[in-house]
A and B are shown apart, each in its own frame.
Chain A
Amino acid sequence: MLDASEGYITEDGRKIGGVVMEMKNITLRFGGVVAIKDISFDIREGEIRAIIGPNGAGKSSMLNVISGFYVPQEGEVWFHGKKRPAMRPYEVARQGIARTFQNIALFEGMSVLDNVMTGRLNFMSAGLLSQSIWRGKAEREEVENREAVEKIIDFLEIQHIRKTPVSRLPYGLKKRVELARALAAEPKLLLLDEPMAGMNVEEKEDMSRFILDVNDEFGTTIALIEHDMGVVMDLSDRVVVMDYGKKIGDGTPDEVRNNQEVIDAYLGVAHD
């Protein structure tokens, strides 16, 4: 089913493209602790790629390496066929990699609309002077970006809270606003750090639906970390399994489910 260069067709008939991001032999250490040990995998265009593993397996660390928050001691990160030099997180974001956080990092003092608008900052290039007199380019940009943002707000069904300060929202909605902000950047790669952590069943179903819809509607490539095994298996096209900083499995949900090492390390413990 997997083709090295051309991509593949998923079970539900979606066409997955070439490699967008490739991690090559990544090793990340904090002092003497090895968080990630020599891990390689790739993420293909249009797919939903999951990274799973028990607590402390190094999943979040891996996401932080991709988004530039951590710099690995060894290994290479390739993005769109080019080796990525050491970068700061904001530079990675400007390359088109958006993310959400496990513990929600929103601008609490701003409204939902303003929060989502920050996702568009890199689409605005009008200079300070033209903005201050509010003409021409700046105005056009503001209107265009506003339209793009409204579309995403509609899509994620958060119109009713557009003007609400984020600090007043319940947890589940905050997670959705964070997703909206990441989407507003029209990312080439969207990273979701435990998008369903701390949610009830209903909220989890909503979020799963939104993730699938986003992938379907915008063709967004998504890499996500998740604890909930059931959710991951339903959502993802391919799964990387980590344990103690090492990769112990990589493949379709079915392949991973039948991988003995994975069963021993993770599924076995979880389901026995």
Chain B
Amino acid sequence: MSDQLIFATEVILNGLMAGVLYALVALGFVLIYKASGIFNYAQGVMALFAAMTLVGIMNGQVPFAHLINAIFGAHITHFGWNVPALLAIILTMGVMVLLAWAVQQFVMRHLVGQEPIILFMATIGLAYFLEGVADLMWGSEIKTLDVGLPQGLNVWIDDTTYGILGYGFFIDNLDIVATVIAALLVAALVAFSQYTKQGRAMRAVADDHQAALSVGISLNFIWVLVWSVAGFVALVAGIMWGTKSGVQFSLSLIALKALPVLMLGGFTSIPGAIVGGLIIGVGEKLFEFAIGPLVGGATENWFAYVLALIFLVFRPQGLFGEKIIERV
């Protein structure tokens, strides 16, 4: 194999791994969009919020410490204990369910039947509100997140490929773990929506609100459930991104990368989110590798958006989205 081909293969593999993380964020968007027609701009911030909460709980940080100290003149910051990762993840999930309930109870419930643009604006508001709450609760400094996932070069792959090709592939262990977890997550989501009572109800609500009501499904309950599931997906995405690049506010900007992923995959398709994520991941890495040097690099910043734009022109419903047919 020529050197170029070997490098390209490594680039593709790394692209696939990056794509998995994009897909994870996009998945959260698809879930909520399918069930309620809401494009949840706050999905990225939810991932950030989940990651910050997880770090905060693990480190035994006192939530709203600044606020409490300012009001009562105290100087508390930590409870003085550390919570094991698994327990902290479960507690964080509890917080995400609470958040889902609050979003439905205080915001979305009052906007039922409004124009999609109104709902979208509400989620923009939610995004900034949640970002503020996260800041107030846990502080704004960059934190490291370590839940015990393996990180760094995978030696086995490095050795094996070196033995065969004379060149060792650099694949990060974390990326491999992320891929496995993402696959499990998708399998679990599919099983949930296909084989459980709640999943069936969720699909029913996604399809027709009136009909769902007529068979005794509470829309309110399903929407809390959907936001909770989206919160869970956000937590998984937050753990992966947080472990990879630290828990910081730029994490919420990943949400923007999920947009081109959704345009490719379609807003209503779970497989679409996965495939879209992988295409964007591989595409931008490969483009940077092949064309980047010719145009001065940094193509990863814009490649995904240009690709999405091309898709919008030729296939506006995305690869897997429902075909838009307007009857005249």
Contact = CB atoms under 8 A, between A and B. Distances in A.
Interface of A: 67, 69, 88-91, 93-94, 98-99, 101, 105-110, 114, 117-119, 121-122, 124, 126, 128, 131-132, 134, 181-182, 185
Contact of A105 (B197, B208, B216): B208
Given A90-B218, A90-B219, A126-B197, A106 B213 contact: no
Contacts of B203: 107, 109-110, 114
A89 B198 CA distance: 18
A106 B210 CA distance: 9
26 contacts: A69-B213, A90-B212, A90-B213, A90-B218, A90-B219, A91-B216, A93-B215, A93-B216, A98-B214, A101-B210, A105-B208, A105-B210, A107-B207, A109-B203, A109-B206, A109-B207, A110-B203, A110-B204, A114-B203, A117-B200, A118-B201, A119-B215, A121-B204, A132-B191, A132-B196, A182-B214
Given A105-B208, A107-B208, A109-B207, A121 B200 contact: yes
Contact of B197 (A90, A107, A108, A131): A131
B215 A118 contact: yes
Contacts of A69: 210, 213
A109 B207 CA distance: 7
A98 B217 CA distance: 12
B192 A90 contact: no
A90 B211 CA distance: 10
Contacts of B197: 121, 124, 126, 131
B90 to A, nearest CB: 14
B213 A131 contact: no
Interface in B66-92: none
Nearest to B210: A105
A118 B215 CA distance: 7
Contact of A90 (B195, B207, B208, B216): B216
A88 B213 CA distance: 9
Q: Which of A91, A94, A107 has the most CB of B within 10 A?
A: A107
A99 B198 contact: no
B213 A107 contact: no
Given A132-B191, A182-B214, 19 more contacts: A88-B213, A90-B213, A93-B213, A93-B214, A93-B215, A101-B214, A105-B214, A106-B208, A109-B206, A117-B200, A118-B211, A118-B212, A118-B217, A119-B215, A121-B217, A126-B197, A132-B192, A181-B215, A185-B215
Contacts of A131: 195-197
Most buried by B among A67, A105, A114, A185: A105
Contacts, number: 80
A114 B200 contact: yes
A107 B213 CA distance: 12
Contacts of A107: 203-204, 207-208, 211-212
Q: Which of B196, B198, B215, B218 has the most CB of A within 10 A?
A: B215
A110 B203 CA distance: 8
Contacts of A94: 216
How many B residues are at the interface, by size bracket? 20 to 34
A204 to B, nearest CB: 23
Interface of B: 191-192, 195-198, 200-201, 203-204, 206-208, 210-219
Contacts of B210: 69, 101, 105
B214 A108 contact: no
Contacts of B219: 90
A110 B207 contact: yes
B216 A67 contact: no
Contacts of A99: 214
Contacts of B201: 118, 121
Nearest to B205: A107
Contacts of B211: 101, 105-107, 118
A178 B63 CA distance: 51
Kindly name the residue among B197, B200, B204, B217 whose own CB sees the greatest number of chain A CB atoms within 10 A. B197
Contacts of B218: 88, 90
Contact of A128 (B196, B213, B215, B217): B196
Contacts of A185: 215-216
A53 B89 CA distance: 60
A224 B215 CA distance: 18
Given A93-B213, A105-B214, A118 B208 contact: no
Contacts of A101: 210-211, 214
Contacts of A119: 215
Contact of B215 (A98, A108, A126): A98
A105 B209 CA distance: 9
Nearest to A67: B214
B126 to A, nearest CB: 25
Q: Which one of B200, B201, B211, B214 has the highest number of Cβ atoms from chain A below 10 Å of its Cβ?
A: B214
Contacts of B212: 90, 107, 118
B207 A108 contact: yes
A94 to B, nearest CB: 4
A238 B323 CA distance: 46
Nearest to B197: A124
